[in-house]
Amino acid sequence: MSHISIIDDEVDIVVGALQPDLSSFMEEWKPIFSRFHLIIVKDPDLKEDLKIPDGFNMDLYTKSDIDRVMGSSSTAISFSGYSCRYFGYLMSRKKYVICFDDDCVPARDSNGCIIDAVSQHIANLATPATPFFFNTLYDPYREGTDFVRGYPFSLRNGVDCGLSCGLWLNLADYDAPTQVLKPDLRNVRYVDAVLTVPSRTMMPVSGINIGVNTELVGPAMLPAFQLVKEGKIRWETVEDIWSGMCVKVVCDHLRLGVKSGLPYVWRKERGDAIESLRKEWDGVKLMEDVVPFFQSVRLSKEAVTAEDCVAEIAASVKEKLGPVNPVFARAADTMVEWTKIWKRVRRPSKVQRQ
Protein backbone atom coordinates (compact mmCIF):
# COMPACT_ATOMS: atom_id res chain seq x y z
CA MET A 1 0.00 0.00 0.00
CA SER A 2 2.84 2.34 -0.93
CA HIS A 3 0.48 4.76 -2.63
CA ILE A 4 -1.26 5.67 0.62
CA SER A 5 1.06 8.47 1.67
CA ILE A 6 0.59 10.20 -1.66
CA ILE A 7 -3.08 10.70 -1.18
CA ASP A 8 -3.37 11.54 2.51
CA ASP A 9 -4.34 15.07 1.53
CA GLU A 10 -7.06 13.77 -0.74
CA VAL A 11 -8.89 12.30 2.25
CA ASP A 12 -11.45 13.65 4.69
CA ILE A 13 -12.63 11.65 7.65
CA VAL A 14 -16.26 12.48 8.33
CA VAL A 15 -17.86 11.74 11.68
CA GLY A 16 -21.43 12.48 12.68
CA ALA A 17 -21.53 13.24 16.40
CA LEU A 18 -24.66 11.77 17.93
CA GLN A 19 -23.21 11.77 21.43
CA PRO A 20 -21.67 14.84 23.11
CA ASP A 21 -18.49 13.27 24.50
CA LEU A 22 -16.19 12.17 21.69
CA SER A 23 -13.12 11.99 23.93
CA SER A 24 -12.60 8.25 24.05
CA PHE A 25 -13.66 7.82 20.42
CA MET A 26 -11.10 10.37 19.25
CA GLU A 27 -8.33 9.11 21.51
CA GLU A 28 -8.74 5.54 20.30
CA TRP A 29 -8.62 6.65 16.68
CA LYS A 30 -5.80 9.16 17.22
CA PRO A 31 -2.94 7.03 15.80
CA ILE A 32 -4.89 6.76 12.56
CA PHE A 33 -6.83 10.03 12.38
CA SER A 34 -3.82 12.24 13.12
CA ARG A 35 -2.58 11.97 9.52
CA PHE A 36 -5.84 13.20 8.05
CA HIS A 37 -8.20 16.14 7.99
CA LEU A 38 -11.40 15.56 9.96
CA ILE A 39 -14.89 16.90 9.47
CA ILE A 40 -17.13 16.52 12.48
CA VAL A 41 -20.81 17.29 12.14
CA LYS A 42 -22.85 17.64 15.28
CA ASP A 43 -26.34 16.14 15.16
CA PRO A 44 -28.53 19.28 15.04
CA ASP A 45 -30.82 17.70 17.64
CA LEU A 46 -27.98 17.37 20.13
CA LYS A 47 -28.22 20.12 22.75
CA GLU A 48 -25.10 19.57 24.85
CA ASP A 49 -21.72 21.03 23.85
CA LEU A 50 -19.38 18.61 22.14
CA LYS A 51 -16.34 17.40 24.02
CA ILE A 52 -13.51 16.85 21.56
CA PRO A 53 -9.85 16.50 22.58
CA ASP A 54 -7.19 18.76 21.10
CA GLY A 55 -4.58 17.67 18.62
CA PHE A 56 -6.63 17.03 15.50
CA ASN A 57 -6.73 18.82 12.17
CA MET A 58 -10.46 19.30 11.97
CA ASP A 59 -13.47 21.38 11.04
CA LEU A 60 -16.56 21.22 13.21
CA TYR A 61 -19.99 21.96 11.79
CA THR A 62 -23.09 22.53 13.88
CA LYS A 63 -26.73 23.45 13.35
CA SER A 64 -25.88 27.08 12.66
CA ASP A 65 -23.53 26.06 9.83
CA ILE A 66 -26.18 23.80 8.38
CA ASP A 67 -28.80 26.58 8.50
CA ARG A 68 -26.40 29.07 6.93
CA VAL A 69 -25.30 26.81 4.05
CA MET A 70 -28.72 25.43 3.30
CA GLY A 71 -30.39 28.82 3.61
CA SER A 72 -34.02 28.88 2.60
CA SER A 73 -33.45 26.36 -0.19
CA SER A 74 -33.86 23.37 2.05
CA THR A 75 -37.39 22.35 2.53
CA ALA A 76 -37.21 18.56 2.43
CA ILE A 77 -33.71 17.72 3.65
CA SER A 78 -33.11 16.88 7.29
CA PHE A 79 -29.66 16.37 8.78
CA SER A 80 -31.07 14.99 11.99
CA GLY A 81 -29.43 11.98 13.67
CA TYR A 82 -27.21 9.80 11.52
CA SER A 83 -28.05 11.99 8.54
CA CYS A 84 -25.88 14.80 9.94
CA ARG A 85 -22.88 13.10 8.34
CA TYR A 86 -24.15 13.95 4.87
CA PHE A 87 -23.55 17.61 5.65
CA GLY A 88 -19.92 16.62 6.08
CA TYR A 89 -19.89 15.05 2.62
CA LEU A 90 -21.26 18.31 1.28
CA MET A 91 -18.59 20.38 3.01
CA SER A 92 -15.68 18.15 2.05
CA ARG A 93 -13.56 19.14 -0.94
CA LYS A 94 -11.61 15.90 -1.01
CA LYS A 95 -11.68 13.03 -3.46
CA TYR A 96 -12.09 10.41 -0.74
CA VAL A 97 -14.37 10.57 2.26
CA ILE A 98 -14.08 7.92 4.98
CA CYS A 99 -16.86 7.73 7.54
CA PHE A 100 -17.19 5.91 10.86
CA ASP A 101 -20.04 5.87 13.38
CA ASP A 102 -19.10 7.46 16.69
CA ASP A 103 -19.64 4.22 18.61
CA CYS A 104 -16.88 2.41 16.69
CA VAL A 105 -13.20 2.23 17.51
CA PRO A 106 -10.33 0.59 15.65
CA ALA A 107 -10.36 -3.19 15.67
CA ARG A 108 -7.19 -4.95 16.78
CA ASP A 109 -5.32 -7.79 15.13
CA SER A 110 -4.29 -10.97 16.92
CA ASN A 111 -1.17 -9.19 18.22
CA GLY A 112 -3.24 -6.42 19.77
CA CYS A 113 -2.13 -3.84 17.21
CA ILE A 114 -4.81 -1.52 15.93
CA ILE A 115 -5.93 -2.03 12.35
CA ASP A 116 -5.64 1.05 10.11
CA ALA A 117 -9.14 1.09 8.66
CA VAL A 118 -8.53 4.33 6.77
CA SER A 119 -5.61 2.95 4.78
CA GLN A 120 -7.63 -0.14 3.94
CA HIS A 121 -10.53 1.96 2.65
CA ILE A 122 -8.12 4.02 0.56
CA ALA A 123 -6.52 0.85 -0.82
CA ASN A 124 -9.98 -0.45 -1.69
CA LEU A 125 -10.91 2.81 -3.41
CA ALA A 126 -7.58 3.37 -5.16
CA THR A 127 -7.27 -0.09 -6.70
CA PRO A 128 -9.60 -1.38 -9.43
CA ALA A 129 -12.83 -3.25 -8.83
CA THR A 130 -14.04 -6.28 -10.81
CA PRO A 131 -17.85 -6.18 -10.97
CA PHE A 132 -18.32 -8.10 -14.23
CA PHE A 133 -16.95 -11.51 -13.29
CA PHE A 134 -16.41 -13.08 -9.90
CA ASN A 135 -12.87 -13.91 -8.81
CA THR A 136 -13.02 -16.86 -6.42
CA LEU A 137 -9.80 -15.75 -4.67
CA TYR A 138 -11.46 -12.41 -3.81
CA ASP A 139 -9.53 -9.18 -4.50
CA PRO A 140 -7.08 -10.04 -7.31
CA TYR A 141 -5.10 -6.83 -6.75
CA ARG A 142 -4.12 -7.72 -3.23
CA GLU A 143 -0.52 -8.71 -2.75
CA GLY A 144 -0.09 -12.47 -2.88
CA THR A 145 -3.11 -13.15 -5.05
CA ASP A 146 -4.21 -12.88 -8.68
CA PHE A 147 -6.98 -13.72 -11.10
CA VAL A 148 -7.80 -17.42 -11.17
CA ARG A 149 -7.78 -19.72 -14.19
CA GLY A 150 -10.69 -18.96 -16.48
CA TYR A 151 -10.84 -15.25 -15.68
CA PRO A 152 -10.94 -13.43 -19.04
CA PHE A 153 -7.85 -11.34 -19.66
CA SER A 154 -9.99 -8.60 -21.19
CA LEU A 155 -11.61 -8.02 -17.78
CA ARG A 156 -8.42 -8.03 -15.72
CA ASN A 157 -7.88 -4.28 -15.83
CA GLY A 158 -11.00 -3.79 -13.76
CA VAL A 159 -12.84 -0.51 -13.29
CA ASP A 160 -12.72 2.38 -10.81
CA CYS A 161 -14.10 1.75 -7.35
CA GLY A 162 -16.82 4.12 -6.11
CA LEU A 163 -17.60 2.74 -2.65
CA SER A 164 -15.76 0.69 -0.03
CA CYS A 165 -17.97 -1.00 2.60
CA GLY A 166 -16.21 -2.12 5.75
CA LEU A 167 -17.50 -4.51 8.41
CA TRP A 168 -17.72 -4.74 12.19
CA LEU A 169 -16.51 -6.97 14.95
CA ASN A 170 -18.31 -7.34 18.27
CA LEU A 171 -21.77 -5.80 17.81
CA ALA A 172 -22.73 -6.54 14.21
CA ASP A 173 -25.10 -4.44 12.17
CA TYR A 174 -28.29 -6.43 12.61
CA ASP A 175 -31.80 -5.05 12.60
CA ALA A 176 -33.84 -4.63 15.76
CA PRO A 177 -35.79 -7.92 15.42
CA THR A 178 -32.54 -9.89 15.04
CA GLN A 179 -31.04 -8.07 18.02
CA VAL A 180 -34.07 -8.98 20.09
CA LEU A 181 -34.12 -12.61 19.00
CA LYS A 182 -30.38 -13.11 19.48
CA PRO A 183 -29.29 -10.59 22.12
CA ASP A 184 -26.00 -12.40 22.75
CA LEU A 185 -25.00 -12.74 19.10
CA ARG A 186 -21.64 -11.06 18.51
CA ASN A 187 -19.59 -11.09 15.34
CA VAL A 188 -16.23 -12.59 16.28
CA ARG A 189 -15.12 -13.92 12.91
CA TYR A 190 -12.49 -11.91 11.08
CA VAL A 191 -12.78 -12.69 7.37
CA ASP A 192 -9.55 -11.58 5.76
CA ALA A 193 -10.96 -10.58 2.37
CA VAL A 194 -12.21 -7.77 0.18
CA LEU A 195 -14.43 -8.54 -2.78
CA THR A 196 -16.21 -6.61 -5.46
CA VAL A 197 -19.97 -6.99 -5.14
CA PRO A 198 -20.97 -8.05 -8.66
CA SER A 199 -22.76 -5.76 -11.04
CA ARG A 200 -26.56 -5.88 -10.78
CA THR A 201 -26.37 -7.45 -7.34
CA MET A 202 -28.03 -5.37 -4.67
CA MET A 203 -26.71 -5.30 -1.13
CA PRO A 204 -27.52 -3.64 2.20
CA VAL A 205 -24.77 -1.03 2.59
CA SER A 206 -24.13 -0.13 6.20
CA GLY A 207 -23.02 3.43 6.84
CA ILE A 208 -21.15 2.43 10.00
CA ASN A 209 -17.77 2.07 8.30
CA ILE A 210 -17.44 3.20 4.69
CA GLY A 211 -15.19 4.95 2.18
CA VAL A 212 -16.46 6.90 -0.81
CA ASN A 213 -14.87 8.27 -3.96
CA THR A 214 -16.84 11.52 -3.95
CA GLU A 215 -15.71 12.52 -7.43
CA LEU A 216 -17.37 9.42 -8.83
CA VAL A 217 -20.45 8.88 -6.68
CA GLY A 218 -20.58 11.69 -4.11
CA PRO A 219 -24.02 13.01 -5.07
CA ALA A 220 -25.53 9.55 -4.59
CA MET A 221 -24.65 9.54 -0.89
CA LEU A 222 -27.71 11.34 0.37
CA PRO A 223 -29.96 11.70 3.43
CA ALA A 224 -33.14 10.90 1.55
CA PHE A 225 -34.82 7.99 3.26
CA GLN A 226 -35.82 8.95 6.74
CA LEU A 227 -38.41 7.09 8.73
CA VAL A 228 -41.19 9.04 10.37
CA LYS A 229 -40.13 7.84 13.80
CA GLU A 230 -36.45 7.42 13.11
CA GLY A 231 -34.36 7.13 16.25
CA LYS A 232 -30.74 7.69 17.20
CA ILE A 233 -29.77 4.03 17.13
CA ARG A 234 -28.42 2.40 13.97
CA TRP A 235 -30.99 -0.33 13.86
CA GLU A 236 -33.72 2.31 13.89
CA THR A 237 -32.43 3.79 10.62
CA VAL A 238 -32.39 2.86 6.95
CA GLU A 239 -30.92 6.04 5.43
CA ASP A 240 -27.63 4.31 4.74
CA ILE A 241 -29.29 1.25 3.19
CA TRP A 242 -31.19 3.49 0.78
CA SER A 243 -28.19 5.63 0.02
CA GLY A 244 -26.09 2.50 -0.53
CA MET A 245 -28.56 1.12 -3.05
CA CYS A 246 -28.54 4.45 -4.89
CA VAL A 247 -24.75 4.26 -5.08
CA LYS A 248 -24.86 0.63 -6.21
CA VAL A 249 -27.32 1.41 -9.01
CA VAL A 250 -25.18 4.39 -10.03
CA CYS A 251 -22.01 2.27 -10.01
CA ASP A 252 -23.67 -0.48 -12.04
CA HIS A 253 -24.90 2.03 -14.57
CA LEU A 254 -21.60 3.95 -14.85
CA ARG A 255 -19.53 0.74 -14.84
CA LEU A 256 -17.89 1.41 -11.49
CA GLY A 257 -17.32 -0.98 -8.60
CA VAL A 258 -18.47 -1.40 -5.00
CA LYS A 259 -16.27 -3.40 -2.62
CA SER A 260 -17.17 -5.11 0.63
CA GLY A 261 -15.14 -6.77 3.37
CA LEU A 262 -12.10 -5.31 5.08
CA PRO A 263 -11.59 -3.11 7.03
CA TYR A 264 -13.26 -4.11 10.27
CA VAL A 265 -13.99 -1.72 13.11
CA TRP A 266 -14.87 -2.65 16.69
CA ARG A 267 -18.42 -1.71 17.41
CA LYS A 268 -19.39 -0.91 20.98
CA GLU A 269 -22.72 -1.57 22.59
CA ARG A 270 -25.36 1.09 22.23
CA GLY A 271 -29.12 1.08 22.49
CA ASP A 272 -31.84 -1.25 23.66
CA ALA A 273 -33.23 -3.46 20.91
CA ILE A 274 -36.47 -4.26 22.69
CA GLU A 275 -37.11 -0.58 23.20
CA SER A 276 -36.44 -0.01 19.49
CA LEU A 277 -38.83 -2.75 18.52
CA ARG A 278 -41.59 -1.11 20.49
CA LYS A 279 -40.96 2.11 18.62
CA GLU A 280 -40.52 1.13 15.04
CA TRP A 281 -40.88 -1.69 12.55
CA ASP A 282 -41.31 0.48 9.50
CA GLY A 283 -37.72 0.21 8.29
CA VAL A 284 -37.86 -3.57 8.21
CA LYS A 285 -41.22 -3.61 6.46
CA LEU A 286 -40.29 -1.02 3.86
CA MET A 287 -37.32 -3.06 2.64
CA GLU A 288 -39.81 -5.44 1.01
CA ASP A 289 -40.62 -2.64 -1.43
CA VAL A 290 -37.22 -0.95 -1.52
CA VAL A 291 -35.17 -3.97 -2.60
CA PRO A 292 -37.29 -5.06 -5.59
CA PHE A 293 -37.40 -1.45 -6.72
CA PHE A 294 -33.63 -1.02 -6.76
CA GLN A 295 -33.18 -4.47 -8.29
CA SER A 296 -35.32 -3.50 -11.25
CA VAL A 297 -34.58 0.19 -11.81
CA ARG A 298 -32.69 0.87 -15.04
CA LEU A 299 -31.22 4.20 -16.13
CA SER A 300 -31.06 5.74 -19.57
CA LYS A 301 -27.88 6.17 -21.54
CA GLU A 302 -28.30 9.91 -21.14
CA ALA A 303 -27.39 9.50 -17.46
CA VAL A 304 -23.62 9.93 -17.59
CA THR A 305 -22.85 11.42 -14.17
CA ALA A 306 -23.86 10.47 -10.64
CA GLU A 307 -26.10 13.59 -10.54
CA ASP A 308 -27.89 12.46 -13.70
CA CYS A 309 -28.34 9.00 -12.26
CA VAL A 310 -29.74 10.26 -8.95
CA ALA A 311 -32.23 12.44 -10.81
CA GLU A 312 -33.43 9.46 -12.84
CA ILE A 313 -33.65 7.22 -9.79
CA ALA A 314 -35.64 9.93 -7.98
CA ALA A 315 -38.11 10.18 -10.84
CA SER A 316 -38.56 6.43 -10.81
CA VAL A 317 -38.99 6.37 -7.01
CA LYS A 318 -41.70 8.99 -7.30
CA GLU A 319 -43.52 7.05 -10.00
CA LYS A 320 -43.14 3.47 -8.75
CA LEU A 321 -42.87 3.77 -4.96
CA GLY A 322 -44.56 7.12 -4.36
CA PRO A 323 -48.07 5.64 -4.34
CA VAL A 324 -47.04 2.91 -1.87
CA ASN A 325 -46.04 5.09 1.07
CA PRO A 326 -45.55 8.85 1.57
CA VAL A 327 -42.03 8.19 2.89
CA PHE A 328 -40.98 7.27 -0.66
CA ALA A 329 -42.41 10.43 -2.22
CA ARG A 330 -40.52 12.47 0.36
CA ALA A 331 -37.35 10.53 -0.43
CA ALA A 332 -37.76 11.31 -4.12
CA ASP A 333 -38.20 15.02 -3.43
CA THR A 334 -35.16 15.04 -1.19
CA MET A 335 -33.04 13.32 -3.81
CA VAL A 336 -33.88 15.96 -6.39
CA GLU A 337 -33.15 18.74 -3.95
CA TRP A 338 -29.91 17.10 -2.89
CA THR A 339 -28.51 17.07 -6.42
CA LYS A 340 -29.20 20.79 -6.70
CA ILE A 341 -27.56 21.57 -3.38
CA TRP A 342 -24.63 19.34 -4.27
CA LYS A 343 -24.03 21.34 -7.45
CA ARG A 344 -24.35 24.65 -5.66
CA VAL A 345 -22.33 23.90 -2.52
CA ARG A 346 -19.81 21.32 -3.64
CA ARG A 347 -18.62 23.45 -6.54
CA PRO A 348 -15.41 25.04 -5.19
CA SER A 349 -16.16 28.49 -6.61
CA LYS A 350 -19.34 28.68 -4.59
CA VAL A 351 -18.04 27.29 -1.35
CA GLN A 352 -19.46 28.98 1.68
CA ARG A 353 -17.28 27.68 4.37
CA GLN A 354 -15.98 29.13 7.63
Residues that bind its own copies (CB under 8 A): 132-138, 144-155, 165, 167, 172-175, 178, 182, 185-193, 195, 197-206, 234-235, 238, 241, 244, 260, 284, 287-288, 291, 295
Question: Are 332 and 318 spatial neighbours (Cβ–Cβ below 8 Å)?
Answer: yes
Of 245, 13, 265, 34, nearest to 122 by C-alpha is 13
Rounded Cα distance, 187 and 309, in Å: 35
Q: Dump strand ranges (E) for 241-310.
A: 257-267
Smallest distance from the beta carbon of 158 to its own copies, in angstroms? 15
Rounded Cα distance, 275 and 20, in Å: 22
> In the complex with its own copies, which residue's Cβ is closer, 63 or 320?
320
Say which DSSP state 61 is in: E
Distance of CA 228 to the CA centre of its chain: 21
Angle between the 23-33 and 117-126 helix axes, to the nearest 10 degrees? Answer: 50
> In the complex with its own copies, which residue's Cβ is closer, 119 or 179?
179
Distance of CA 194 to the CA centre of its chain: 16
Distances (CA, A) of 148 to 140, 156, 197: 8, 10, 17
Smallest distance from the beta carbon of 293 to its own copies, in angstroms? 11
> In the complex with its own copies, which residue's Cβ is closer, 190 or 232?
190
Smallest distance from the beta carbon of 91 to its own copies, in angstroms? 27
Smallest distance from the beta carbon of 125 to its own copies, in angstroms? 17
> In the complex with its own copies, which residue's Cβ is closer, 144 or 348?
144
Smallest distance from the beta carbon of 163 to its own copies, in angstroms? 12
> In the complex with its own copies, which residue's Cβ is closer, 72 or 188?
188
- Per DSSP, the three-state class of 194 is strand
Smallest distance from the beta carbon of 245 to its own copies, in angstroms? 9
> In the complex with its own copies, which residue's Cβ is closer, 6 or 185?
185
Half-sphere exposure of 150 (CA within 13 A, CB side): 5
